[in-house]
């Protein structure tokens, strides 16, 4: 079949097998050529949410930067003869193929990471293949979670708190800037979002690893968060997602306490805004990101997802690194996004931006390109008019 992007709102329902593979390979090549992370910094790494965005980048830096054996967990859709897989499925295959070429252990388990069945499968795999884990990266982003203790299905809501929020946004496909009125969350929606995107599941994972004695002495775990600037606070940090992320901070403290026994370390790392399947779904964020990318590109401080995670590993996570921590003990690598020189300019443009001047003031084109790349489209060197087998990446 010939695979073209089919965009529905903020998701693309097709993915290009060769494009996804090329995108993964580009990121691996970047790390192989540029990373300063120490070989052997981490021996065995478990990545929860390994198939896209920040989790995939973390797995790439761990595997191809540190030379780590990686076990990944993700929830992706396999292809059929007539339908493409989800992008993450191709990404996992491409990562595994490259690892195999280099004699690097890489195993991916596909299924629901919130379930006890998946936790058991991961524990068994570590016992059989790896012994103990040195680093656990928690990078799940999901709109739903079936709670493993109650079987109840919780859905997250991306909403402000308290009152209706009138705020600027952009329709990514049409490029139209407008004001939207976002209804505030109910108490139930807040609670559900915390259940889905908060820290409980991260705690369950660390509890299981500790109970099975599968964390190595001095093991680390890191979970990712976003804080962003005042412009997005009303919908993110001060909204339902912020409540969930505050719960991640709570969990970090609990896990830190539990890891004392093995002299381990648990941290939340605050990352920069990028285009991912998860972030494209958040109202306001695409407009903020378009302005931010333009300003950071003009000022020469823009980082792609892989560059950002490489900096996290190299400057913050590896042994000997002096972590840049805030008052809450979080690692801050969002320093470039939040630099005053960047934010002052983004905030200057925010009230001015409209549909006509967006191409000048913001980088919506770059946002769209990044969005398509997530699904394997717009990657240089890929022949998008060629027939492909959706069940193969080569």
Catalytic residue IDs = 236
Among 30, 42, 95, 224, binds ligand NAD (CB under 6 A): 224
Measured between alpha carbons, how far is residue 45 from residues 187, 219, 251, 389 in Å? 37, 10, 20, 32
Measured between alpha carbons, how far is residue 288 from residues 65, 163, 282 in Å? 31, 21, 11
Residue pair 162/190 in contact by the 8 Å Cβ criterion: no
Measured between alpha carbons, how far is residue 294 from residues 79, 94, 281 in Å? 36, 31, 20
CA gyration radius, the chain = 20
Sign of the four-CA dihedral 193, 194, 198, 203? negative
Among 42, 95, 114, 377, binds ligand NAD (CB under 6 A): 114
Report the nearest approach of ligand NAD to the CB of residue 245 (Å). Answer: 7
Report the nearest approach of ligand NAD to the CB of residue 242 (Å). Answer: 11
Which segment (161-169, 184-192, 275-283, 339-347) binds ligand NAD by CB under 6 A? Answer: 275-283
Among 54, 64, 90, 375, binds ligand NAD (CB under 6 A): 54
Q: Considering the rule CB under 6 A, would residue 112 count as an interface residue with ligand NAD?
A: yes
Select 177 or 222, whichever has its Cβ closest to ligand NAD. 222
Which segment (112-120, 206-214, 311-319, 337-345) binds ligand NAD by CB under 6 A? Answer: 112-120
Which segment (125-133, 256-264, 266-274, 323-331) binds ligand NAD by CB under 6 A? Answer: 266-274
Tokens of 10: 């903020």
Select 265 or 337, whichever has its Cβ closest to ligand NAD. 337
Q: Considering the rule CB under 6 A, would residue 51 count as an interface residue with ligand NAD?
A: yes
Q: Give the HSE-up count for residue 50: Cα atoms under 13 Å, Cβ half-sphere.
A: 31
Closest residue to ligand NAD in the complex (CB): 53
Q: At what angle do helices 305-312 and 53-60 cross, to 10 degrees?
A: 60
Which DSSP letter does residue 19 get?
A: H
Residue pair 47/72 in contact by the 8 Å Cβ criterion: yes
Which segment (48-56, 148-156, 161-169, 364-372) binds ligand NAD by CB under 6 A? Answer: 48-56
**CA-to-CA distance for 308 and 361, rounded, in angstroms?**
24
Among 226, 236, 288, 377, binds ligand NAD (CB under 6 A): 226
Q: Considering the rule CB under 6 A, would residue 52 count as an interface residue with ligand NAD?
A: yes
Among 61, 94, 231, 274, binds ligand NAD (CB under 6 A): 274
Report the nearest approach of ligand NAD to the CB of residue 220 (Å). Answer: 17
Q: Considering the rule CB under 6 A, would residue 132 count as an interface residue with ligand NAD?
A: no
Among 12, 24, 37, 73, binds ligand NAD (CB under 6 A): 73
Among 94, 136, 137, 141, binds ligand NAD (CB under 6 A): 141
Q: Binders of ligand NAD: how many residues, by CB under 6 A?
A: 29
At 3, give phi and psi (nearest 5°): -105, 120
Q: Considering the rule CB under 6 A, would residue 283 count as an interface residue with ligand NAD?
A: no
Among 27, 139, 156, 221, binds ligand NAD (CB under 6 A): 139
The three-point CA angle 63-87-370 to 5° equals 85
3-state DSSP call for residue 284?
coil
Beta-carbon contacts of 300 under 8 Å, excluding residues fewer than 6 positions away, are none
Select 107 or 216, whichever has its Cβ closest to ligand NAD. 107
Report the nearest approach of ligand NAD to the CB of residue 307 (Å). Answer: 14
β-sheet bridge partners, residue 135 = 45, 220
Beta-carbon contacts of 146 under 8 Å, excluding residues fewer than 6 positions away, are 112, 114, 115, 152, 153, 154
Among 142, 212, 301, 343, binds ligand NAD (CB under 6 A): 142
Summarize as ranges the residues that interact with ligand NAD (CB under 6 A).
49-55, 73-76, 88, 112-114, 139-142, 224-226, 271, 273-274, 276-279
């Amino acid at each position: 079949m010939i695979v073209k992007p089919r965009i529905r709102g903020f998701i693309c329902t097709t993915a290009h097998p060769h494009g996804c593979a090329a995108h993964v390979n580009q990121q691996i090549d970047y790390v192989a050529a540029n990373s300063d992370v120490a070989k052997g910094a981490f021996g065995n790494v478990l990545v929860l949410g390994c198939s896209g965005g920040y989790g995939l980048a973390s797995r790439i830096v761990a595997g191809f930067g540190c030379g780590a054996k990686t076990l990944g967990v993700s929830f992706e859709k396999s292809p059929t003869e007539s339908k493409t897989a989800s992008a993450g499925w191709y990404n996992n295959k491409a990562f595994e193929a490259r690892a195999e070429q280099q004699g690097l252990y890489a195993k991916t388990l596909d299924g629901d990471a919130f379930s006890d069945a998946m936790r058991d499968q991961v524990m068994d795999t570590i016992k059989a293949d790896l012994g103990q884990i040195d680093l656990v990266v928690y990078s799940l982003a999901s709109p739903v979670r079936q709670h493993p203790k109650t079987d109840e299905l919780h859905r997250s809501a991306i909403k402000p708190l308290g009152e209706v929020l009138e705020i600027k946004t952009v329709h990514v496909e049409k490029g139209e800037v407008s004001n939207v009125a976002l209804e505030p969350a109910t108490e139930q929606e807040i609670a559900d979002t915390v259940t889905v995107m908060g820290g409980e599941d991260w705690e369950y994972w660390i509890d299981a690893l500790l109970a099975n004695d599968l964390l190595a002495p001095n093991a680390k775990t890191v979970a990712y968060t976003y804080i962003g600037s005042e412009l997005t606070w009303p919908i993110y940090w001060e909204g339902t997602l912020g409540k969930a992320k505050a719960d991640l901070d709570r969990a970090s403290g609990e896990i830190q306490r539990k890891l004392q026994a093995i002299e381990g370390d648990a941290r939340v790392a605050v990352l920069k805004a990028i285009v991912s399947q998860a972030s494209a779904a958040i109202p306001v964020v695409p407009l903020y990101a378009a302005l931010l990318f333009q300003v950071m590109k003009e000022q020469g401080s823009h980082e792609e997802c892989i560059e950002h995670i490489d900096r996290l590993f190299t400057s913050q996570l590896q042994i000997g690194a002096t972590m840049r921590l805030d008052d809450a003990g979080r690692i801050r690598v969002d320093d470039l996004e939040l630099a005053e020189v960047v934010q002052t300019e983004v905030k200057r443009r925010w009230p001015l931006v409209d549909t006509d001047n967006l191409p000048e003031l913001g980088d919506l084109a770059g946002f769209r390109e990044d969005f398509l790349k997530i699904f394997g489209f717009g990657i240089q060197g890929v022949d998008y008019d060629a027939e492909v087998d959706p069940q193969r990446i080569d």
